[in-house]
Chains A and B, each alone.
Chain A
């Protein structure tokens, strides 16, 4: 997959929908392509994060380890971004992310990501929207799981 295709992929992510093609190209060029096999861990909960991942192809699951053991809270597919929380606010990873299938990702280092947000405020807004959406989904899922445990 060449940069041009990666840019097409990025374009489909709402976060980057309104960004200049040349900037997306720059983002792709300065990011590392990483592939994972099914079952590989992208990152572990509680580690410090250095990059966010953009899923190009394949699926990944988000697992939270709580007092009750590991709990799968979400599944992510292509054109989604994951791991941006830890690099946005300098906290340890809030969950473990594992490849469910063979996975192609673009690994965006923290400093590049923050630079992009600073350069393009539109991106910041999109991130806010996407985070809010994600939070809502996670909460719903957690409620379901708790309800299932209670019965």
Chain B
């Protein structure tokens, strides 16, 4: 990467810079003419002093001449504006392209960093460099050459003009320029240094904020918020000091400049005036030179401003780029080249060592062969096991010695070989913020394989994008193409892949988790009509089962259009559906005009208000004595702690003046409460048969009169229709689990599971579950689920060599046993390296490597090594 911003600009935009300069120069005569023309309009046309005989061969009187000149003026305004518009757009586009190129190149560098580098560099430092820090460069790049050429040219022209008028005064006019040219960079240098300090300080702040976010748990566990606040305050103070000093110096430079610029006219007036008085200089010449000097000031100022801007941007660029100049960057070809080298025979480690520069060696003198058609267990004590595993998967590169694959140096193979034929899973694998499915097929997305079959406008848009990518030196691969390498997973297409994913998910014991995720997901019945239809079948089967078995019937209360559901909220009973969007959410019902209209019509408004009043009374009685932030507020109260005083005030008013005296917003607040009531759960004795009957009436009215424009806001419970707003489980149950039954959740869960299996629906639900978003870094999954998902991801791509390093440490013992057996079965006859945390597990492996403090202590078959006196024997007996 270019080490200076000008080299970067020239290398990638020299043609555009020339065009820009030429355009700027071409605009100059018009600009000059537009400055000159007003003078002519005033002096010649209006004052009529020097009316020309003819204009372009036409004879004109004074008025026509005026209009011609004015027309010309307007044209020039347009031409100048046009130039400005074109040049600015051109500059802007050039700047954006260069910025895009720069960011892309920096990102490429991040991908090429050797892995140990990331131990020294945090995301908090890298991200602002690529995003915010380089942002101003875009604006500067368009000005980088055009401005100095243009303003410098203008300046030279004026200087020449002055010199022609009078060499002495000319010399006087520019006499201070050398001084300024010497002084300003010197003053600027200090500002530059401060600028660098500022960038460094800001990076550290970004880093600290990043650390706080990552370690937020520790902050709260150890009560260190004050310490962090003090630290940040200290750092912000540093930045403040630096910035303030920059301002002081910057404005001092400005002050000095202005002063020096005014010094020259001082000489003109004094010396030039003196010369005129003594008749050594003509009055006209002095006036001309003064006027010229005034013109001189503008470009000179522009040049100085440009210089400051240039310094600022130069430093920004250098400070970013130097962070990305890392020794032993991975060769670019390793990421790019397509090659296919079969993984056969063995990986031959020859005297391999690994260590961080400056640190002690983690691995030393490792010489061994790792067969690519058999299973190797890695056990031992001390450091180096995980590093050896990562070296075998080519996640790390050896710092000494060599690993050979047949005739080839393993370190020299492109990632198109190692990243497809080998796979590594560590103890804390990373998942990307996408669906589980996307994470599983992640290992199959190496190159775009099939274009997505868009045509017409979409295709044209893509082509435009591609052209633009080329112009900015970016990657041209289409991110929306189909990248999934089905063949690598041993499949012939998407359907086949799904089946394979289900098998792999089962292999790693993740199927129950995914099934659970699927049950709780919604499905769009228009996109997946077959799933909706099957779920409806399950609903019907569930109904039949509950009819036949009253014991089951006691566990779930089905939605019945003509019965009040005691286990659902009052709001659900009224809507008899699931709200879609905010309009009919429970908290919004009391202020929803249509809902109020319905309640009015069945004469329930008063009852709801009274019920709300009673709920408020009970809540205040129950919860008023609790301290703020008590978990009961969150879990049980209808009223949050912060709202309690408001409700207490409302209750006090009603006690005195009655419910009729309430203000509209107070009525709304009271009426919000009853909608959350679940008769069977809250047992407040407020749900009378009379109230339930009225509510049913309201339910029917609500559905019957629902205006067309509100129809999208609620998905009704319809025994015969799939509810797109409810989860699959809710669709199957078509009702609510009954409160007051022991272990109702697990019992119902078992029944649903049985049903699902009978109807062969499990695979479908697991498939839906694969759409579950895993959250940032997989945070919506448990640690064990993350490990299982990572194992599935590695198994799915069927690597020739699978390297696992404590990859099942988060699983419970019984799942561990299951998963181990499944993986060993799946990898029969294929390469497998497994770092085991229990030496006894190595018994199932063909070969065992026993490490001790970064060296191989023993190496061979398990039963050969398992003799008294060996380290293996010692480790096994210790268990």
A interface residue numbers (CB < 8 A to B): 1-4, 6, 22, 25-26, 28-30, 32-36, 40, 42, 111
Contacts and interface: CB of A to CB of B under 8 A. Distances in A.
A25 B742 contact: no
Contact of B636 (A1, A4, A30, A34): A30
Interface of B: 618, 621-623, 625, 631-632, 635-636, 682-685, 739-742
Contacts of A28: 683
B741 to A, nearest CB: 7
A6 to B, nearest CB: 7
Contacts of B742: 34-36, 40, 42
B685 A30 contact: no
A32 B621 CA distance: 19
Contacts of B682: 29
Closest 7 CB pairs of A and B: A2-B685, A33-B740, A26-B622, A3-B683, A34-B742, A2-B683, A30-B636
A36 B743 CA distance: 10
Nearest to B680: A33
A14 B9 CA distance: 87
Nearest to B631: A111
Given A33-B739, A36-B742, A1 B683 contact: yes
A25 B740 contact: no
B860 to A, nearest CB: 45
A34 B683 contact: no
A34 B625 contact: no
Given A6-B683, A30-B632, A30-B635, 11 more contacts: A1-B683, A22-B622, A22-B625, A26-B622, A26-B623, A28-B683, A29-B622, A29-B682, A33-B739, A35-B740, A42-B742
A32 B684 CA distance: 13
A133 to B, nearest CB: 27
Contacts of A40: 742
Q: Which of B622, B635, B636, B742 has the most CB of A within 10 A?
A: B742
A29 B684 CA distance: 9
Contact of A34 (B622, B631, B684, B741): B741
Nearest to B623: A26
Contacts, number: 41
A110 B741 CA distance: 19
Nearest to B686: A2
A5 to B, nearest CB: 9
Given A33-B739, A35-B740, A40-B742, A25 B683 contact: no
Nearest to A104: B740
B33 to A, nearest CB: 86
A63 to B, nearest CB: 17
Contacts of A26: 622-623, 632
Contacts of A32: 739-740
Contacts of B632: 26, 30
Nearest to A111: B631
Select the residue from A25, A35, A40 with max chain B CB neighbours within 10 A: A35
Contacts of A35: 740-742
B726 to A, nearest CB: 24
A30 B632 CA distance: 8
Contacts of B685: 2-4
Nearest to A37: B551
A4 B685 CA distance: 8
Contacts of A3: 683-685
Contacts of A34: 740-742
Nearest to A22: B621
Nearest to B742: A34
A111 B552 CA distance: 31
Nearest to A1: B683
A4 B618 CA distance: 11
Nearest to B624: A22
B741 A25 contact: no
Contacts of A25: 618, 621-622
A36 B742 CA distance: 7
Task: Determine which residue in A3, A4, A29 has the highest number of CB atoms from chain B within 10 A of its CB, and name it.
Answer: A29
A3 B682 CA distance: 8
Contacts of B623: 26
A29 B740 contact: no
Contacts of B739: 32-33
Nearest to A20: B625
26 contacts: A1-B683, A2-B683, A2-B685, A3-B683, A3-B684, A4-B685, A6-B683, A22-B621, A22-B622, A22-B625, A25-B618, A25-B621, A26-B622, A26-B623, A26-B632, A28-B683, A29-B622, A30-B636, A32-B739, A32-B740, A33-B683, A33-B740, A34-B741, A35-B741, A35-B742, A36-B742
A33 B739 CA distance: 7
A120 B766 CA distance: 49
A69 B656 CA distance: 66
B212 to A, nearest CB: 30
B84 to A, nearest CB: 71
Contact of A2 (B684, B740, B741): B684
Contacts of B618: 25
A34 B741 CA distance: 5
B285 to A, nearest CB: 97
Contacts of A6: 683
A34 B635 CA distance: 18
B622 to A, nearest CB: 5
Contacts of A1: 683
Nearest to A29: B622
B278 to A, nearest CB: 103
A102 B684 CA distance: 23
B631 to A, nearest CB: 8
Contacts of A30: 632, 635-636
Contacts of B622: 22, 25-26, 29
Nearest to B738: A35
Contacts of A42: 742
A6 B682 CA distance: 12
B689 to A, nearest CB: 14
A112 B120 CA distance: 47
Nearest to A23: B625
Contacts of B741: 34-35
A32 B567 CA distance: 13
A53 B503 CA distance: 44
A26 B631 CA distance: 13
B732 to A, nearest CB: 24
B549 to A, nearest CB: 14
Contacts of B621: 22, 25
Nearest to A112: B632
A36 B744 CA distance: 11
Nearest to B621: A22
Contacts of A111: 631
A35 B741 CA distance: 5
Nearest to B740: A33
